[in-house]
Amino acid sequence: MKRALLLVPLAILALFVAAALWRLSSPPDPTIRSRLAGQPLPAFSLPAAVPGRPALDSAAFADGQPRLLNLFASWCVPCIAEAPMLLELERRGVTIEAIAVRDRPEDVARFLQRHGDPFRRIGLDTASKVQLSLGSAGVPESFVIDGRGIIRYQHVGVITAKDLPVLMAELEKAR
């Protein structure tokens, strides 16, 4: 009996190591998801982010055509990495609207000139009010919006090449 009691600390240590290995091999998803999936896009009206370009409002998303809404910023390094994928989506026929978050028009124009401009319209959200109303926690972030203005899918973070098939499928489902 006394010998069995000596194994208890070893068994506890083995359980702790097993639990730590399990959590390290499959960490929980730290992504903060919007609660608006399946809900209408919040009403908003933003000024144009770049002079001479169209402004953006929520009414534009209820024209019967699904589209991607991308939140980005010129000061966002991951947004630079995402830019080629947005151009690829545009090349595949995806309509992309954008919201420039906490940015300045001259910086947005410079960003588009350097990294490409796949956007049909870009609204300027200087105080992140629309971003927060979408439940967005950061940039870049994208939403698939159906033709009735309903949020169908949220993509948090940089869009990479492996995300393109998922986004194309979500856009097709949003038709």
Structure tokens at 165: 């098939």
Confidence (pLDDT) at 106: 97
Confidence (pLDDT) at 17: 83
Confidence (pLDDT) at 54: 95
Q: Cα–Cα distance between 102 and 129 in angstroms, integer?
A: 10
In order along its 175 residues, the chain shows pLDDT tens digits of 677 777 887 878 888 888 777 777 776 766 667 788 899 999 999 999 999 999 999 999 999 999 999 999 999 999 999 999 999 999 999 999 999 999 999 999 999 999 999 999 999 999 999 999 999 989 999 999 999 999 999 999 999 999 999 999 999 999 9
SS3 77: helix
DSSP of 15-42, one letter per residue?
Answer: HHHHHHHHHHHS--------TTTTSBPP
Half-sphere exposure of 26 (CA within 13 A, CB side): 3
User: pTM for the full model?
Assistant: 0.84
CA-closest candidate to residue 99, choices 56, 62, 158? 56
The C-alpha angle with vertex 35 and arms to 30 and 39, in degrees rounded to 5, equals 150
Structure tokens at 62: 């209820």
Confidence (pLDDT) at 14: 82
